[in-house]
Amino acid sequence: MDFLAFIPARGGSKGIPNKNLVLLKGKPLIQYTVEAAKKSKYINEIFISSDDDKIINFCKSLGISVNYKRPSRLADDNTPMIDVVLDMIFWKKIHEKKLPDVIVLLQPTSPLRTSDDIDLAIEEFVRTNSETLISVNLMREHPYECIKLDGNKWSYLEKPSTKVSRRQDYEKIFYFINGAIYIAKTSFLVSEKTFIEEGKSLLFFMESEKSVDIDDLYDLKFAESLISDNHSSL
């Protein structure tokens, strides 16, 4: 079974300019994901999808072959990720006449996700013969403590069946799709055009400290505070 690591890295970004190349502890953000993919025991190919020459050239400097350049029409803030992935599939079918069995989507905004995380997720995916897998972590803000507004009125996002005062007594556990790892069979992506099948996609549980998603400067500073000597080899 062939596994392709798909790393999307467009040039534009609003929260942090040139986010994919911004330095995190002295290393460009995208480098963490590239190096994690390279260290995986199962990834056969790394595919960079970028519209930006600086990003493409930097990835080439890391030893990645980049022959594809993402069309500008697929590099907007609102471009669905599945459209970007399907364009890669179409390109490979035309130019290389061969498609991978499985696509592993690794977003550069998850720098603390390790090669071990990737390999464990792939092993679970194969062991369970799943069509799709998504990584999740425990929600930091519990829905019992979150509210939603309706005009001037508010209500709890989720309510327990009995009144409790301690979080450890909550009857439900909630998880967040952290965006670190998505895995799907290529045939499933082509037919269903999604990585997520509600209630059916296999869940891969990750530690919260590995689930940081870099969206703004606060996230960047938070990731810097979490990086230890153990992460320096990512």
State pLDDT tens for residues 34-89. 999 999 999 999 999 999 999 999 999 999 999 999 999 999 988 999 999 999 99
- Domain match, 113 and 40 both: yes
162 and 182, same structural domain? no
Cα(85)–Cα(3) distance, rounded to whole angstroms? 14
Q: How far, in whole angstroms, is CA 214 from its chain's centroid?
A: 11
Winning range, highest mean pLDDT, from 12-21, 22-31, 169-178: 22-31
Burial class from Cβ neighbours inside 10 Å (0-12, 13-18, 19+) for residue 57 reads exposed
Are both 66 and 76 inside the same structural domain?
Answer: yes
Point out the domain boundary residue: 150, 173, 196: 173
pLDDT digits (tens, 9 = 90+) for 87-142: 999 999 999 989 999 999 999 999 999 999 999 999 999 999 999 999 999 987 77
**What is the separation of C-alpha 150 from the centre of its chain, rounded to a whole number of angstroms?**
32
Statement to judge: residues 43 and 87 lie in one domain: yes
Total domains in the chain come to: 2
Q: Output the six-digit token pair for 112.
A: 């603390």
Q: Are residues 16 and 45 in the same domain?
A: yes
pLDDT at 73: 94
Look at strands 202-205 and 132-138 and give their pairing. Answer: parallel
Whether 160 and 61 map to the same domain: the answer is no
Query: Which of 154, 173, 192 is the last residue in one of the domains?
Result: 173
| Domain match, 52 and 149 both | no
- 46 and 122 both lie in a single domain: yes
Largest CA distance in the chain: 60
Owning domain of residue 217 = 3-139+174-231
179: helix, strand or coil: strand
Among the residue ranges 18-22, 143-147, 153-157, the one predicted with the least confidence is 143-147
Is 23 a residue whose pLDDT tops 80? Answer: yes
| pTM of the entire predicted model | 0.89
Among the candidates 173, 197, 221, a domain finishes at 173
DSSP string of 12-81, one letter each residue: --SSSTTGGGSEETTEEHHHHHHHHHHH-SSEEEEEEE-S-HHHHHHHHHTT--------GGG-STT--H
pLDDT in tens, 167-181: 666 767 889 999 999
Same domain membership, residue 193 and residue 161: no
Residues 8 and 37 in one domain: yes
- For 23-40, the DSSP string reads EETTEEHHHHHHHHHHH-
Q: What CATH code is carried by the domain that includes residue 208?
A: 3.90.550.10
- Is there a single domain that holds both residue 36 and residue 122? yes
pLDDT-derived band at 232, boundaries 50, 70, 90: very low
**3-class DSSP string for 84-105:** HHHHHHHHHHHHCCCCCCEEEE
Same domain, 68 and 166: no
